[in-house]
Structure 1
Amino acid sequence: MSTLTKVTPYANEPFTNFSLDENKQAMEAAIAKVKSELGQEYPLYIGSEKVVTEAKIKSINPGNVDEVIGYVSKANQALAEKAMVAALETFESWKRVHVRKRAEYLFKAAALMRERKHEFSALMILESGKNYVEADVDTAEAIDFIEFYAREIIRLSEINETGPLTKIAGEDNKISYIPLGVGVIIPPWNFPLAICVGMTTAAVVSGNTVLLKPASTTPIIAHKFVALMREVGLPDGVINFIPGSGAEVGDYLTTHPKTRFISFTGSKEVGLRINKLAADTVPGQIWIKRVVAEMGGKDGIIVDETADLDAAASAIVASAFGFQGQKCSAGSRAVIVESVYDQVVEKVAALTKQLQIGLPENNFAAGPVIDKTSYERILEYIEIGKQEGILLAGGEKAEGNGYYIQPTVFGNVSGKARIMQEEIFGPVLAIAKAKDWQEAIAIYNDTEFGLTGAYFSTDEERIAEALETVHCGNLYINRKCTGALVGVHPFGGFNMSGTDSKAGGYDYLLLFTQAKLTSRKI
Structure 2
Amino acid sequence: AAVIAPWNFPLAILTGMSAAALVTGNAVILKPAEQTPVIAAELVKIYREAGVPAGVVNYLPGYGEEAGAALVTHPDVHIIAFTGSRAVGLRILQEAVQVRGHQRHIKQVITEMGGKNAVIVDDDADLDEAVAGVVTSAFGYAGQKCSAASRAIVLERIYDAFLERLVEASRSLIIGPAWEPLTYVGPVIEEEAQRRILNYIEKGHSEGRPVLVHEPPARVKDLGGYYVPVAIFADVPPTAVLACEEIFGPVLSVIRAKDFDEALHIANDIDYKLTGGIFSRSPARIERARKEFRVGNFYINRKITGSLVGRQPFGGLGLSGTGFQAGGPDYLKQYVDTRVITENTLRRGFADDAAGGRS
1:18-417 aligned within 5 A: 183-363=1-181, 364-394=183-213, 396=215, 399=218, 400=220, 401=223, 402-417=225-240
Match of 2:248 in 1: 425
- Distance of 1:284 and 1:380 partners within structure 2: 46
Give the aligned residue type for 1:270: V
Residue 349 (structure 2) pairs with residue 520 (structure 1): no
- Distance of 1:307 and 1:360 partners within structure 2: 33
Query: For the Cα contact (< 8 Å) 1:293–1:501, is it kept in 2?
Result: no
- Distance of 2:63 and 2:149 partners within structure 1: 30
1:307 to 1:500, Cα distance in 2 relative to 1, 3 A = farther
Query: For the Cα contact (< 8 Å) 1:210–1:240, is it kept in 2?
Result: yes
- Distance of 2:172 and 2:209 partners within structure 1: 19
1:493 to 1:398, Cα distance in 2 relative to 1, 3 A = farther
Percent identical among aligned pairs is 47
Q: Which one of the candidate residues 305, 319, 338 is aligned to 1:496?
A: 319
Give the aligned residue type for 2:149: G
Q: Which one of the candidate residues 279, 296, 303 is aligned to 1:480?
A: 303
3-state secondary structure, aligned to 1:226: helix
3-state secondary structure, aligned to 2:340: strand
Query: For the Cα contact (< 8 Å) 1:190–1:327, is it kept in 2?
Result: yes
The CA deviation string for residues 409-446 of structure 1, in whole angstroms up to 9 with x for no partner, is 11111101111000000010110000011111111111
Structure 1 residue 519, shift from structure 2 partner: 2.8
Residue 277 (structure 2) pairs with residue 454 (structure 1): yes
For normalisation by structure 1, the TM-score amounts to 0.64
- Structure that is richer in helix per residue: 1
Query: For the Cα contact (< 8 Å) 2:323–2:334, is it kept in 1?
Result: no
- Distance of 2:149 and 2:27 partners within structure 1: 35
Query: For the Cα contact (< 8 Å) 1:457–1:463, is it kept in 2?
Result: yes
Q: How many residues align?
A: 340
Q: Which one of the candidate residues 421, 425, 436 is aligned to 2:259?
A: 436
3-state secondary structure, aligned to 1:520: coil
Q: Which runs of 5+ in 1 are unaligned?
A: 1-182
1:453 to 1:500, Cα distance in 2 relative to 1, 3 A = farther
- Distance of 1:397 and 1:243 partners within structure 2: 33
- Tell me the C-alpha RMSD between the 2 structures: 1.1
Match of 2:351 in 1: none
Return structure 1 stretches of 4+ with deviation > 6 angstroms: none
For normalisation by structure 2, the TM-score amounts to 0.93
Match of 2:329 in 1: 506
Give the aligned residue type for 2:188: V
The CA deviation string for residues 15-38 of structure 1, in whole angstroms up to 9 with x for no partner, is xxxxxxxxxxxxxxxxxxxxxxxx
1:514 to 1:444, Cα distance in 2 relative to 1, 3 A = same
- Distance of 1:478 and 1:275 partners within structure 2: 35
Structure 1 residue 306, shift from structure 2 partner: 1.1
- Distance of 1:373 and 1:238 partners within structure 2: 35
Moved more, 278-287 or 392-401: 392-401
